[in-house]
Amino acid sequence: MSAPTWPPEPSAPGGPAAGPAAEQVQAAVLVPLFVAAASGEAHVVLTRRRSDLRSHAGEIAFPGGRRDAADADLLATALREAEEEIGLARAQVSALGELPRTSTFATNYLIHPFVGAIPEGVAWRLSPREVDAVLELPLEALRAGRTRTRLERRGIRFETDAYVVGEHLIWGATARIVEHLLASAYVDELTGGGARARP
């Protein structure tokens, strides 16, 4: 993979980077969604970084990274990274659209999140260099788990929005993408209106 899994840094006080988009590093993530047949409930797929990595160990993210010169566009970047990180074949993804772009604070990445519908029961193949686990989290559990939490990164203590589902803490750029997802109409599109996405 060409860049750290997202979020590559804290969502520090003051919010996203303010630099012009042309000056930011263009990157993309895939936000895979599927509907569980038994419950009809929409789930989102995330990854957990390996706990022994030098940076951002154990953090939860979407598969993604920096655009490569060979990528036709940023959607191609997201699909390539998902295939490399978790073995999600491009043919298994039906693109639904794009969420609002999300900037990072210090590294000045501009992340383009693409939502894709995938089948239930994908046999994940994890990148041994990067990914510790694949998480399939119900969107309603994420919605119910929205909170504020205090974190310390690089010696800086700050309070930030986050999502907690069981033992999993989602914050930073990933939390902002989740917030946009929950406020979008993509869940309705996937479920036929059975799981209404609310702001």
Give which of 42, 45, 75, 72 is closest to 61, Cα–Cα: 45
Question: 101-149: per-residue pLDDT in tens?
Answer: 999 876 788 999 999 999 999 999 999 988 999 999 999 999 999 999 8
Contact 147, 162 (CB under 8 A): yes
Confidence of residue 12 (pLDDT cuts 50, 70, 90): very low
Contact 25, 122 (CB under 8 A): no
Give which of 35, 4, 16, 10 is closest to 158, Cα–Cα: 10
Question: 158-177: per-residue pLDDT in tens?
Answer: 788 999 999 999 998 999 99
Q: How far apart are CA 25 and CA 4, in angstroms?
A: 12
Question: 139-149: per-residue pLDDT in tens?
Answer: 999 999 999 98
By CB atoms closer than 10 A (0-12, 13-18, 19+), residue 109 is buried
Q: pTM for the full model?
A: 0.84
Q: How far apart are CA 132 and CA 130, in angstroms?
A: 7
Domains annotated on the chain, with CATH:
24-191 (3.90.79.10)
Q: How far apart are CA 198 and CA 182, in angstroms?
A: 6
